[in-house]
């Protein structure tokens, strides 16, 4: 490398000349390793392995390395925040017989076509907070009604959730819908001296 010289960088120690540019070795290696894995993950061979054994390659969607090559794209179901509070009797029974009730609620949720993402106990007005994926509003309402009718949970609240992308779409649509607030003219007039 002593014979190679760059017009832009007179002193290039610990660098590689790549496409007539002087770049640090670490950047060169990072780029080449990324290119190798990107090529491999997008190659026909890897795609055929993923299709043959999907359980061994759980990275799907747009968040993982294999995200661009999702073989079986699943339509994401709507997400819901489910909040509730235990009744006094339910707390007394849990104190007498402590247990994780997640599995007890998982089966009815799955029977309605849903999935429990995560559940938490919480301080404040809600004792239980869960993130669910349900096929539709009717199924989400059905599980909330079933929990409320069971008698162990009170103040059940079901809140539909949006992804960040959906929220941005909503904000963009709000800006183009043409709604004008009754106070829009008042605030503009108040701002004038």
- In this prediction, residue 84 carries a pLDDT of 93
CB-based burial label for 130 (10 Å; 0-12, 13-18, 19+): buried
Evaluate if residue 146 carries a pLDDT over 90: yes
Could you report the per-residue pLDDT of 38-52, keeping only the tens digit for each?
555 555 555 555 555
63: confidence class by pLDDT, cuts 50, 70, 90? very low
Pick the more confident residue, 94 or 25: 94
What are the boundaries of each domain within the chain? 15-69, 79-165
What CATH number belongs to 79-165? Answer: 3.30.70.920
Pick the more confident residue, 170 or 189: 170
d(CA 100, CA 103): 7
CA distances from 41 to 64, 65, 70 (A): 11, 8, 11
Evaluate if residue 160 carries a pLDDT over 60: yes
Whole-number percent of the chain with pLDDT over 90: 42
Strands (E), 49-185: 79-86, 115-121, 128-133, 153-161
- In this prediction, residue 38 carries a pLDDT of 58
The 3-class secondary structure across 144-155, one letter per residue, is HHHHHHHCCEEE
Q: What is the dihedral of CA 129, 109, 106, 160, to 10 degrees?
A: -20
- Tell me how crowded residue 10 is: count the other CB atoms within 10 A of its CB: 8
Could you report the per-residue pLDDT of 114-137, keeping only the tens digit for each?
999 999 999 989 999 999 999 999
Span 82-88, average pLDDT: 93
Span 71-80, average pLDDT: 70
Q: Which of the given ranges, 1-10, 70-79, 80-89, has the highest pLDDT on average? A: 80-89
- In this prediction, residue 89 carries a pLDDT of 95
Span 162-185, average pLDDT: 89
Span 57-67, average pLDDT: 45
Span 67-84, average pLDDT: 69
- Name the residue among 2, 33, 30 with its Cα closest to residue 17: 2
């Amino acid at each position: 490398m002593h014979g190679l010289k760059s017009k832009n960088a007179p002193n290039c120690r610990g660098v590689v000349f790549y496409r007539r540019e002087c770049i640090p070795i670490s950047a060169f290696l990072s780029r080449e390793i990324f290119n190798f894995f990107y090529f491999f993950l997008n190659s026909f061979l890897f795609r055929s392995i993923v299709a043959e054994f999907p359980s061994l390659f759980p990275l799907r969607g747009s968040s993982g390395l294999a995200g661009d090559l999702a073989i079986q794209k699943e339509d994401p179901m709507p997400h819901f925040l489910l909040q509730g509070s235990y009744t006094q009797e339910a707390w007394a029974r849990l104190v007498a017989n402590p247990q994780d009730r997640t599995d007890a609620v998982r089966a009815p949720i799955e029977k309605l076509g849903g999935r429990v993402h995560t559940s938490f106990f919480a301080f404040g007005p809600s004792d239980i907070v869960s993130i669910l994926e349900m096929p539709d509003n009717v199924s989400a309402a059905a599980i909330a009604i079933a929990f409320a009718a069971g008698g162990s949970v009170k103040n059940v609240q079901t809140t539909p959730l949006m992804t960040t992308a959906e929220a941005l779409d909503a904000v963009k649509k709000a800006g183009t819908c043409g709604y004008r607030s009754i106070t829009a003219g008042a605030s503009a007039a108040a701002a004038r001296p």
